[in-house]
Amino acid sequence: MGTINIHGIKVYAYHGCMEEEAIIGGNYVVDVIIETDFEEAALKDDLNKTVDYVQVNEIVRREMAVRSKLIEAVGKRISDALMKEIPSIKLLETKLTKINPPVKGGVENVSVIIRDERSV
């Protein structure tokens, strides 16, 4: 078992409860931590025996392109898609950060973290 960390997937998207957010959009960062067995991949130097982070990036970007009011909904959708499409993931943590949300008083960012585990 090992861990693959994919940090800083930067996406411009249109999530939020305010109408302006649907028009103007904003910056988001997605971090994904994956626990998987990549021992065979390491021994054989074979990409097909591990989680391809290019595929992870594509899934994240695809799900981020679907507008939602809540980042909780987007994060859950990303997590569900990763678990469904990449069966070798054993444990998953998806962190979705909204940069400069429109909150009075100035907030640097807001994040949600979704944890998922494959049942045996």
pLDDT digit string (tens) for the chain, length 120 residues: 899 999 999 999 999 999 999 999 999 999 999 999 999 999 999 999 999 999 999 999 999 999 999 999 999 999 999 999 999 999 999 999 999 998 888 899 999 999 999 987
Q: What's the Cα-to-Cα distance from 58 to each of 8, 21, 30, 62, 111, rounded to whole Å?
A: 14, 23, 12, 6, 21
Q: What is the pLDDT of residue 58?
A: 98
Q: What's the predicted TM-score (pTM) here?
A: 0.94
Q: Which range marks the domain in which residue 31 is found?
A: 2-117
Query: Which strands, in side-by-side order, build the sheet including 109-117?
Result: 2-13, 26-36, 91-99, 109-117
Q: How many CA atoms lie within 13 A of 107 on its CB side?
A: 10
Q: What is the pLDDT of residue 119?
A: 85
Helix axes 53-64, 71-85, angle to 10 degrees: 140
Q: How many domains does the chain have?
A: 1
CATH code (residue 73): 3.30.1130.10
